[in-house]
Structure 1
């Protein structure tokens, strides 16, 4: 075992929101001090509400400028500089490259790890299969630009999304023959979940297949897999990718070899040298194609669920590496079948009969729940991941897959006993 001299050693977390809160907590429990660097604009309050400045030894505003922040942070002699959330990736890259180069990604490809338009161009240039994509920064002429790239809304469905947001924010399906210009215009200039104004929008061909997430932890350029999950998504109204459940897969699942080999090529092309990545991949009949990679810890509580499923996660691997542990870790082994299941609401309105949700905690495989609804609360029609995470979920875990399947089915039966009374606001 390497010696552990973590006492009073500082790890700098840039924008420690969402999963960055859990990262900070884990590091402090391991004996590190954490210092927060906060960039602007600030993300939506729904994203930042769990952040508490007092959890950290201090905070620094990135608005001071890179040179001033480098000077202040450099005096702390940090062990590492890590992104706490998607919005902190680029500033963390800039600090880490100068202050902790052994724990840093390639600074020349930082934008490619953050901006989905640059990400897709980078992979295409590397010969890696991607979703046909065109990026636009003006709604005027966007349909013509898409058609010139072989993406005609007259011949097939298209997907529109911001280049720099997160959590399915702004993800829009444009049906065949639909109004692509209106979809682009609605996103450009709008403020996204991460607090920034959308300046670039991606137009992509809608691809069909099963969506997976491959989470990794990289040390010295070696990408070890911490978990592979399969997403089950459903259509609700105009939202075509609402999360119904997330299923952790055994390491020997038949899909894994192709998914993992593809993701390792993606991470190499994006210059990933250290830390966790959360990579979403669509497995089509022609093979895997990237949806997006986040060069940071996975959100939505996935790291904690990974601990339950495999006995480890990117959180524990962070601590191992920062304590001086060698890159001798291997890919994951599944210890339990773990599945996250989410309440899905097909209409907005006022909810009642919420007492039935108490039955969820009695399910044999139920490990954790977030079911905050009470009679009289208003629920919104399910859209992206943020809406499902806020309105209710349960984490099921058991060594017997049949038990998880049975409890998943019972969760849906329980939800059917909820009552949602549509009102004028919800039906408008």
Structure 2
């Protein structure tokens, strides 16, 4: 066994951040984990601490920098959304490649994010924030901004996002946000309202090094509008690199990354392609939440986690191979976030139905997210989708055929009482 040459640091590596330790290991590095909160956040898949050299629970900057500095790390990265500001600050204090802390609020707070774009003359939504629902409604009336979108300032996964078509819906949505916590367990002290961007929504995933950006995948969202004004995820569809919308999306996202000061590491952006051109919905300076290394390797020839590791461990090689370029699609692919309208306590899974789904030719991996003893509830957002299926094939028609089968079987997967 050879001695590890490089040490990296991941802050709050929840959810797809769990793919980072193996990715860095493939590039000759090990990771230390920094936990930004005294206790792990229960709303997301927790980091596997056995995959890290150690876990440091953040207490203050001086102590954490001193402990990390002994290892001479090559990078500090955010493993998931809550870790972005701390990763920015620690990398800055350690003198490592860093996006810096000056624009950290613009990379987490959706209001600051859009205002930063506006200050740089980049197309974006009109918006307003307040700490009470009545001020939100007053702004909507004054600006005649209907339909509009009401959402929390710093959440994710469509948590609390509501499309409102009348004043009653605006007031109800704003009150609901202010009365709740976001998916990271933090109280929503303000609420954001934005003009509705009418168009087709895309995912644009990137990895950057020294200000040179690589677009590692563009996916088109297909969503379904359900009662209450919520748009729920259905399919993320990988689009070809020569599709007509790719060039304007890439040009736009480069300007967004530059404006938000994202010079290093990953970004997961959601962009609406309107009649006037691309306009940002929001970005997260972290991995795509629907990323799976082996799945993406098959349909894209690479994956965001390994690209991140390479950009820090061998930055010269990364710049040579990827700097300023974009992906090429190898296979048709979708990520299907299955919705349900039934509820009950889960007793178990139907082995027969699960076997049928897993055996479908285009199914790479199906994840059954509700465990025995937990409640299955009607889908309201990405987090409440009970099944996620990664699908790929040479022909899109083959994927759609299997997609239809899964839709027919979805209510038979869980045994309820």
Alignment TM-score, normalising by the size of structure 1 = 0.88
- Decide whether aligned partners of structure 1 residues 28 and 420 sit closer, same or farther in structure 2, where only a CA change above 3 A counts: closer
* C-alpha distance in 2 between matches for 1:170 and 1:377: 22
Unaligned runs of 5+ in 1: 424-428
The answer on 1:56 being equivalent to 2:46 is: no
Match of 1:98 among 88, 93, 97: 93
Residues 10 and 35 in structure 1, CA contact (< 8 A), matched pair in contact too? yes
Q: Which residue in 1 is equivalent to 2:388? A: 393
* C-alpha distance in 2 between matches for 1:251 and 1:42: 42
* C-alpha distance in 2 between matches for 1:110 and 1:279: 16
- Decide whether aligned partners of structure 1 residues 100 and 194 sit closer, same or farther in structure 2, where only a CA change above 3 A counts: same
* C-alpha distance in 1 between matches for 2:302 and 2:62: 37
SS, match of residue 141 in structure 1? helix
Instruction: Compute the displacement of 1:9 (Å).
Output: 2.5
Match of 1:191 among 175, 178, 181: 181
Residues 297 and 303 in structure 1, CA contact (< 8 A), matched pair in contact too? no
Which string of whole-angstrom CA distances, capped at 9 and with x for unpartnered residues, describes residues 284-314 of structure 1?
2221111101111111335553222111122
**1:16-415 alignment to 2 at 5 Å?**
16-40=13-37, 44-47=41-44, 49-62=45-58, 64-101=59-96, 103-148=97-142, 150-152=143-145, 156-188=146-178, 190-238=180-228, 240-302=230-292, 304-326=294-316, 327-328=319-320, 329=322, 330-349=325-344, 354=350, 355-371=352-368, 378-388=375-385, 391-415=386-410
RMSD over equivalenced CA pairs, Å: 2.5
Instruction: Compute the displacement of 1:223 (Å).
Output: 1.1
* C-alpha distance in 2 between matches for 1:86 and 1:346: 29
Instruction: Compute the displacement of 1:187 (Å).
Output: 1.4
* C-alpha distance in 2 between matches for 1:26 and 1:338: 22
Unaligned runs of 5+ in 2: none
Instruction: Compute the displacement of 1:106 (Å).
Output: 3.8
Instruction: Compute the displacement of 1:239 (Å).
Output: 5.1
SS, match of residue 208 in structure 1? coil
- Decide whether aligned partners of structure 1 residues 302 and 100 sit closer, same or farther in structure 2, where only a CA change above 3 A counts: farther
* C-alpha distance in 2 between matches for 1:270 and 1:135: 20
* C-alpha distance in 2 between matches for 1:221 and 1:167: 27
Instruction: Compute the displacement of 1:8 (Å).
Output: 4.7
Q: How many residues are paired up?
A: 409
* C-alpha distance in 2 between matches for 1:386 and 1:318: 25
* C-alpha distance in 1 between matches for 2:379 and 2:224: 10
SS, match of residue 45 in structure 1? coil
Residues 151 and 204 in structure 1, CA contact (< 8 A), matched pair in contact too? no
- Decide whether aligned partners of structure 1 residues 376 and 217 sit closer, same or farther in structure 2, where only a CA change above 3 A counts: closer
- Decide whether aligned partners of structure 1 residues 188 and 412 sit closer, same or farther in structure 2, where only a CA change above 3 A counts: same
Instruction: Compute the displacement of 1:205 (Å).
Output: 1.9
* C-alpha distance in 1 between matches for 2:383 and 2:314: 36
Q: Which residue in 2 is equivalent to 1:426? A: none
Instruction: Compute the displacement of 1:241 (Å).
Output: 1.5
Instruction: Compute the displacement of 1:283 (Å).
Output: 1.1
- Decide whether aligned partners of structure 1 residues 273 and 187 sit closer, same or farther in structure 2, where only a CA change above 3 A counts: same
